[in-house]
């Protein structure tokens, strides 16, 4: 198994990065959709369109992307023996945080769909910064491997 992973390493890495980009794009887009959604009248046709857009983003882009990111990421970690390296533990913690953030956004989409609007536009705009900060830290950890 380890020899096969070593042979496929660069393909796994390329796939991992491609799906990380898809996942991050969705995580950046969803809170922005929420801002526009909250500006629509609750019982309007526009509100229904925002619900549909958010649902499609979650089901077509975000969910498959997070699954592939995790699968390929774990395979890569195994292939390079990352489990004993400090930088990997920090990266894993950040990816777990991003996964929780993804879950939080999914839950908020369900709230919006049911008519609950518990966050302000400003709060949603601030939430939009979370993946950018996390991915910047992850890239530094993976490239620099500071510990």
Annotated binding site for heme: 16, 91
Q: Tokens 């601030």 — which residue?
A: 126
Whether the CB-CB separation of 72 and 12 falls below 8 Å is answered with yes
Which of 24, 7, 27 is CA-nearest to residue 16? 24
Q: Which two tokens stand for residue 41?
A: 């009248």
Quickly list H helices, the chain: 2-39, 45-56, 63-80, 86-113, 121-127, 130-144
Degrees, nearest 5: CA angle 144-146-147: 140
Residue list, annotated binding site: 16, 91
């Amino acid at each position: 198994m380890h020899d096969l992973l070593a042979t496929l390493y660069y393909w796994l890495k390329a796939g991992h990065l491609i799906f990380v980009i898809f996942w991050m794009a969705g995580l950046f887009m969803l809170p922005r959709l929420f801002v526009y959604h909250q500006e629509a009248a609750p019982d309007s046709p526009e509100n229904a369109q925002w619900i549909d857009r958010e649902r499609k983003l979650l089901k077509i882009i975000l969910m498959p992307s997070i699954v592939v990111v995790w699968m390929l990421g774990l395979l890569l970690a195994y292939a390079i023996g990352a489990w004993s390296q400090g930088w990997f533990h920090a990266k894993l913690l950040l990816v777990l945080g991003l996964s929780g953030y993804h879950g939080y956004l999914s839950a908020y989409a369900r709230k919006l769909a049911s008519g609950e609007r518990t966050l302000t536009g400003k709060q949603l705009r601030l939430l939009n910064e979370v993946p950018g900060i996390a991915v910047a830290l992850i890239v530094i950890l993976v490239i620099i491997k500071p510990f």
